[in-house]
Structures are given as C-alpha cells and as structure tokens.
Structure 1
C-alpha cells in the first residue's frame, strides 16, 4: 500500500496540483496587497472616503454605531461588508483576467509553426507522372 501511495503522490498531475496550490497561496497574498494597498485607496478617494465595511441595518436590539456592536446586540444586515467583498471580487477578477490574457499572448508568441510535412514518395511520383502527361 505504501508503494501505491508513493506512485500516486509522485505522479505528474498530483505534483502539478501541489505546485499550483502553493503558487495560488503566494499569488493570493500578492493580489490581496494590490487590492487593499493600491486599488482600494483609489476607490476610497472616488467614493469620497466611504467605508462600506461598517455599513449595516440593525433589525433588533438597541441602535449601535458600529457593526461589531450591532451584531452583538441582535439581528443585523451587514450590507456594507457585502459591497466591499463584491468590489474586491471585481478587482481580483479583473487582475486575473489581465494576467491570463497576458499569459495567453505570450503562449501565442512562443508558438512555432510546425515544419511542413514531407510529401510521401508515392504521391510525389504520381504528381510527376501527371505533370509529364499534361505536357504531351
């Protein structure tokens, strides 16, 4: 059983998946930094500094001024958190789209046209015969 597990774990697909997950984790940190440190400040300036993450509708309990206290007080709809996550998703999706588009462009540039396939000898001989007969 140990031998079977080792064969399974060392197959190319499993190793590719493991590498993909590791790169994905590292990439998520990079994308989160781009979103939080570069793009969200610009969104904040465009929206006049509105902090969507603290917007909520309190359905029960005493009225509160921040989301954490409102959640402790009772039923709360945190629509601002949802808006923030939607904005983050759109930004991340756009960044990934640009990344995949760039990688596809690089793949197309590296693609080399295959060498023309040599004509089989019998076909070449038949063409020669055809051309000789056409000259008569």
Structure 2
C-alpha cells in the first residue's frame, strides 16, 4: 500500500496540484492584503467609514459583563453577541471578485499564448521528409541511363 501511495504522489498531476494549492494560498494572502489594505480603505472612504468591517447589526443583547467596545465587530463577535456582519461579507465578496478577475486575466493570457502557438504550428511550413537513400540512388541511375541513351551510338551489326 505504501508503494502504491508513493507512486500516486509521484505522478505529475498530484505534484502540479500541490504546487497550485501552495501558490494559490500565497496568492490569496496577497489578494486579501490588496483588498484589506488598499481597496477597502478607498471604498470605505467613499461610503463614509475607513473600516468597512465595522458595518454590522446587533441581532441580540450584549452580555451584562461585556466591557469592550460596542462598535467593534471583532470584540462583539468574540463575546458571543449575535451579529449580522454585512461589512465583512462585502469585504469577502470584493476579495473574491478581485481574485476571480486576476485569475481570469491570467487564464486569458495563457489561452492567447496557447492559441498563438497552435496557430504558429499550423501555419509553419513543414519541411518534406527526406527521401530514402535507395530512392535517390535509383533516381540518379535512371537519369544517367536516360541521358546516356540519347548520346550513345548503337553497337555495330556484324
């Protein structure tokens, strides 16, 4: 069983998938930072607040022993207050749209490169296959015989 598992892991598709997952995780971190640190502050400024995640609605009472801020989504959520956090949801949706758009641009570029390579392959003039040496030799003999037959005088009749 260990041998089969090793063969499965060593296959190219599994390794490609592993690399894709690792790069995807790193790419998701970059996209999250882009969203949280660059785009969302601009969107927040347009809509009246710098922290978009602070948009929420309390759906239940705040515990009596709660001493944190009543405007902090993270603190209220940690205290167990039921919240409708539409700001966080909007942040995640924007993050997804950005990530999907970047993947779209990457795939579009890859598809263009593949299409250009296929078009170049179709348009490329393939050199004809070299004829075998025997055929070339027979052709030379035939041509020599033809050329020599017209200039040769027939043998004398006895």
Give CA-to-partner distance per residue, 1:11-40, whole Å, 9 cap, x none.
222222222222222322333343334433
Aligned length: 117
Alpha-carbon distance in 1 for matches of 2:91, 2:50: 11
What is the aligned partner in structure 2 of residue 65 from structure 1? 71
Alpha-carbon distance in 2 for matches of 1:44, 1:59: 23
Cα distance, 1:43–1:68 mapped onto 2, change above 3 Å: closer
Q: Is the 8 A contact 1:60 1:73 kept in 2?
A: no
Relative to the length of structure 1, the TM-score reads 0.67
Give CA-to-partner distance per residue, 1:50-94, whole Å, 9 cap, x none.
422011111222492221343326322111111111121112211
Q: Is the deviation greater in 15-24 or in 81-90?
A: 15-24
Cα distance, 1:44–1:79 mapped onto 2, change above 3 Å: closer
Cα distance, 1:108–1:36 mapped onto 2, change above 3 Å: farther
Q: Quote the RMSD (CA, aligned, Å).
A: 2.7
What is the aligned partner in structure 2 of residue 5 from structure 1? 5
